[in-house]
Structure 1
Amino acid sequence: IRLSDIAAALGISKATVSLAINNNPKVSEKTRQKVLKKIKELGYVYNRGAAGLSTGKSNTIGLAVHNLSNPYFTEVCSAVESVLSDKGRMPFLCNTHESLDLQKKFIEALIEHRADGLLLCPADQTTIDDLQPLFTRNLATVLIARDIEEAPLDFVGNDGRKALKLVSEHLIKLGHRRIAMIGGGQHTSVSISRRAGFLSALESHEIPLDESLVVDCETSPAGGEAAIVEVINSPDPPTAVVCFSDLIALGVLSGLHHRSYVPGKDMAVVGCDDIEEASRGYVQLTTARIQKSEIGKKSAEMLLERIAVPTLPPRRILLEPELIVRKTCGSRL
């Protein structure tokens, strides 16, 4: 079955069929639906690869994140897919697992298959040099969540500094002065900004930093559970814990329960992200809400704009976090 067969069956031109398949606004919705119905009836499969050679467009978008098992990215990716599918675009997903090599191979594959653009949450320790193929081939790219210093690319993320400062200052207002921070590291823009927010809160209230209470760990519940053991067993344990993310906080809460600590009573705990599980009755985690769906939506919209007008100057969107108070901080026990 060829395009010409579809056109002949409907009594329209081959060009009209092609425009309808590609969601071109020059074709009415009524005609487009007729074309799609006939395609289904005849079993026609559109060869986008061949079409891409003639049009220079594939209608495909790459989407790479570093940890798809993180509920944060489930929301981001879902919002991205919704926007792209509404515009007739097909996202291809890569879970890089923080691998620079896998990220490189995905970028190379996108270029090879003539993808129209890339939405990228860079793997840990990505530098501007790692992104050179994007600049060489002029692949439209928007960075998500993690920024890359000096990269002339569009970016959509959250104000991580403000997020951690919000939850840290909430603990300080509740009377805590000895506060630990668990997780984050210092390898990405997110980890750097969130750590800076925690330190800023301490400094604003003239609370000295005890570096022994800053404990890095894997960004996972298992990482948080292991880290809280180290914190509890320290010579002078804190009264409160700020976690880099909700995933880490879930592990911290589990570790406290295993040692018969009551979160919010024996030790206050706060997180960051407000993933779905944070609001469950058995968790009730105080956290900073990150606009995850909005990050996905705006990044997809920005990429489509970049594809349409490649000469636009680089743009940045930094979304505001919100303090969400629940039981684990102790103020609602």
Structure 2
Amino acid sequence: MKKKSGSDNPISGASDPISDEQAGSDSPALPANPGRRLTLGHIADQLGISTATVSLALRDSPLVAEETRVRVKRTAEEVGYIYNRSAASLRTARSQIVGVAVHNIQNPYFAEIFSSLEDVLEEQGQMIFICNHRDDVKRQQAFVNTLLQHRADGLIICPSVETTAEEINRLVDQGIPVTLVCREVAGAWAPCVRGDDAAGGYAVTNHLVRQGHTSIAMVGGRRSSSTGRDRHAGWKRALEENGINPAAQLDLPELMTQADGRDAVGRVLDAPRRPTAVMCFNDLIAFGMMPMLRRAGVEPGRDIALTGYDDIDGSANLLPALTSVCNHADKIGRLAALTLLRQIAGERVPNTPILIEPELRIRESSTTFTGRLGG
């Protein structure tokens, strides 16, 4: 067979994948040469195909037949070739890198979002760099700068508190596709995929009111974030519509973790007007409160009603099973990834919020008020 030159175009003149027969026959691996850097051309010479075909095969292009892709990758592995992503990005203006930044990767809710968006992005050959910025805006900025240095194709970000619209808009102005997730930034020129937190906060509080509770605490939520503000606003609106004064209720902002939930129990039980029900900002706070309430002789679901938010894995298996608001993390992750990919492909995406409707899941932890609760 005549060997094809390195300048051959593997897709000209035909739409069928490049076959194994066209790719040449097997030959012994290249001899090791420590003074010589391996290139695509070395693999192409060995297999009798073009460098363009080798490049496409290493990027899993459907234009190359499966058996050819396998042989190219096997040969590359045998000779110790490492794909030069930086050089490829210079040729294609794409790095196949996407950054994902959230404030608490240890929260199972964000792990579910990440898993969903990862599935979508990996299907499109994107590699993911992840940052756990911990609501530290400087840590977030350092990550974004690193992404820019690596010529990342785009960014999916649950923005840290204190993130400004100017920071997001500067990226958009530079042509960097950006999709916000879970938290909005007022005035940002980027789309945001999130749950309708005001509706969820309202629904779970209204449920507690219908159960007969009139002393309903809210525990947690950073009010400087849109999520914290919106869930708090939903709690407040439900109380007001039912003739209950929000200012008379126990309200403990800024708490986010299981440790915060454990620490909050004393403040809840020692309140001048002990709540008969607690709306927790998220499930983690409820997870932290439950054992500490029991240690104080107060049984969740019997002596005090307790609700969470996000409906993370394990919420339904607690004793009692936790009433929570399902925010559909899988749907948020998938839509965030698809929204970013549309931007990477050059499509203009409106910067209006993409709201996911929450679902209240009522379980054993939110009891009917019997008059025995509170103090």
* Bucket of the pairwise TM-score, normalised by the shorter protein: over 0.9
Letter matched to residue 254 of structure 1 = P
Give the Cα–Cα distance (whole angstroms) in 2 for the partners of residues 9 and 197 of structure 1. 66
Correspondence for 2:53: 16
TM-score by length of 1: 0.94
Q: Structure 2 residue aligned with 1:150, among 187, 198, 206?
A: 187
2:354 counterpart SS class: strand
Q: 1:183 to 1:319 in 2, by over 3 A?
A: same
1:200 is the counterpart of 2:237: yes
Report the identity percentage.
Answer: 39
Correspondence for 1:115: 152
Equivalent residue runs for 1:24-35 within 5 Å: 24-35=61-72
2:75 counterpart SS class: helix
Correspondence for 1:82: 119
2:314 counterpart SS class: helix
TM-score by length of 2: 0.84
Letter matched to residue 226 of structure 2 = S
Structure 2: gaps (5+ residues): 1-37, 369-375
Equivalent residue runs for 1:133-144 within 5 Å: 133-144=170-181
Give the Cα–Cα distance (whole angstroms) in 2 for the partners of residues 322 and 69 of structure 1. 23
Deviation at 1:29, TM superposition (A): 3.9
Deviation at 1:135, TM superposition (A): 2.7
Contact 2:223 / 2:254 at 8 angstroms: preserved in 1? no
Aligned Cα root-mean-square deviation (Å): 1.7
Contact 1:140 / 1:310 at 8 angstroms: preserved in 2? no
Contact 1:217 / 1:223 at 8 angstroms: preserved in 2? no
Q: Tell which structure's C-alpha radius of gyration is larger.
A: 2
Deviation at 1:312, TM superposition (A): 3.7
Give the Cα–Cα distance (whole angstroms) in 1 for the partners of residues 66 and 208 of structure 2. 55
Letter matched to residue 37 of structure 1 = R
Q: Structure 2 residue aligned with 1:186, among 201, 218, 223?
A: 223
Deviation at 1:6, TM superposition (A): 1.9
Deviation at 1:198, TM superposition (A): 0.7
1:49 is the counterpart of 2:86: yes
Letter matched to residue 357 of structure 2 = E
Q: 1:310 to 1:109 in 2, by over 3 A?
A: farther
Give the Cα–Cα distance (whole angstroms) in 1 for the partners of residues 360 and 203 of structure 2. 6
Correspondence for 2:11: none
Equivalent residue runs for 1:237-316 within 5 Å: 237-316=274-353
Structure 1: gaps (5+ residues): none
Q: Quick check: which one's helix share is greater?
A: 1
Q: 1:212 to 1:168 in 2, by over 3 A?
A: closer
Deviation at 1:225, TM superposition (A): 2.0
Give the Cα–Cα distance (whole angstroms) in 1 for the partners of residues 174 and 298 of structure 2. 55
Correspondence for 2:168: 131
Correspondence for 2:364: 327
